[in-house]
Each structure stands twice: as structure tokens, then as C-alpha cells.
Amino acid sequence: MTEQICVGAIAGSYGVRGEVRVKSFCAMPEDIESYVPLSNEDGSQTYSLTLNRAIKNGFSANIGGVETKEQADALKGVRLFAPRDRLPNLHDDEYYHTDLMGLEVYDTGGTLLGVVKSVQNHGAGDLLEIIMPTDSKTVLLPFTLTAVPTVDLATGRIIADPPEGVF
């Protein structure tokens, strides 16, 4: 399991006074502010973050040291990470997306179906994007208790009971 969890991203500038547009990936979006200081993916930069107000698809926020629109524009696309130990403990049936990526997926008979490439959500619930072992094709599997009854992070495997015709 990774020590850093992506909790948000900077989507660009907001206005002309150095504010940024922040997308939060937290279950409670405003909680992103409580995990500061945040860092970039490789940890080479840290950011203080103060949310100002909710806006469409995120928040306007101030980042320490960013005072102009040009400085805010330069941060567009930066993903914001927090150390795992600052994040809340999850219930037994909840997972951070980063912990699911790379897990092997087996059917209920023990046949390898593939490896989780990513976790996606297009509005109707989470989907596991699984790379099939025979080729580079991917399959989207609903991440529901019915389709995915077992996730075992300790052994690095998922047991799936996919709907008919998915694989």
C-alpha cells in the first residue's frame, strides 16, 4: 500500500488574484483542507491550502506563496497528496482506490481474470478497469458487493463473480 494518497488536484486559476480551482477527491470534499500540508506526487513540493468557497466542480482556494494568476495557472494539473496516516481509518468494506490498483482478480472458481488497472466512476458507481491476462484488452467490472464479494488486500487479490458476458 502506498504511503501517499491523492486527495485532490489543482484545475487551474480562479480569478486574477492568485486563487486556484481545486477538485477534491475526498468523501467529504471540504475535508481536503484538514490534510495540509499537501504535496505533489513525488513529494518535492509542499502546499498549504485554504478553501475560500465552493464553486462549480470544486472549491476556490489560496495556496501559500501563490499571489498572481500566472503563478496559479502554472499549478494547473498538479495532483495533491496527503500521507496515509493523516487520513481517516476506513471501514472493513471501504478501500482507497490506490490500494485496489494492481490487485489480481480471480473468479469464484480460482481462474485469473486479470489485474486492476484503475478505478473509475462515471456517476453511477465505481468500476474496476481490469486488464485481461491473455491480451491488453480491458474490461469494466462494477465494484459492487454482488460482483466483487471479496477484496483481500493482505494477499493482493480480489474474488469476483462477474455478471454474465462481462468476461
pLDDT in tens, 34-63: 999 999 999 899 999 999 999 998 999 999
Q: Where a domain ends, among 46, 65, 86?
A: 86
Whether 64 and 118 map to the same domain: the answer is no
Whether 75 and 105 map to the same domain: the answer is no
| Domain of 44, in residue numbers | 4-86
Whether 80 and 13 map to the same domain: the answer is yes
User: What's the structural domain count of the chain?
Assistant: 2
The pLDDT of residue 158 is: 96
Indicate whether 167 belongs to any domain.
no
**CATH classification of the domain holding 156:** 2.30.30.240
Determine the Cα–Cα distance for residues 134 and 40; give it in Å rounded to an integer: 35
Going across the sheet that includes 104-107, the strands are: 138-142, 126-131, 112-121, 104-107, 157-160, 150-152
Whether 81 and 21 map to the same domain: the answer is yes
CA-angle at 9, arms to 129 and 21, nearest 5°: 135
Nearest to 87 by CA among 78, 76, 98: 98
The pLDDT of residue 64 is: 92
Determine the Cα–Cα distance for residues 6 and 160; give it in Å rounded to an integer: 26
Indicate whether 71 belongs to any domain.
yes
pLDDT in tens, 94-110: 888 888 999 999 999 99
Q: Where a domain ends, among 86, 120, 142?
A: 86
Residues of the chain with pLDDT under 50: none
Indicate whether 92 belongs to any domain.
no
Asked if 80 contacts 9 with a C-beta cutoff of 8 angstroms, the reply is yes
The pLDDT of residue 123 is: 76
Indicate whether 165 belongs to any domain.
no
Indicate whether 142 belongs to any domain.
yes
Give bridge partners of residue 20 from the DSSP assignment: 13, 61
Q: What are the cell numbers at 66?
A: 501563490
Residue with C-alpha cell 454482488?
146
Nearest to 15 by CA among 74, 78, 56, 73: 73
Whether 59 and 13 map to the same domain: the answer is yes
Q: What is the pTM of this model?
A: 0.74
Whether 42 and 64 map to the same domain: the answer is yes
Q: Where are the alpha helices (DSSP H) in the chain?
A: 69-74, 97-100
**CATH classification of the domain holding 12:** 2.40.30.60
Whether 12 and 41 map to the same domain: the answer is yes
Q: Where are the alpha helices (DSSP H) in 35-87?
A: 69-74
Whether 108 and 67 map to the same domain: the answer is no
Whether the CA torsion 56, 49, 9, 102 is positive or negative: it is: negative
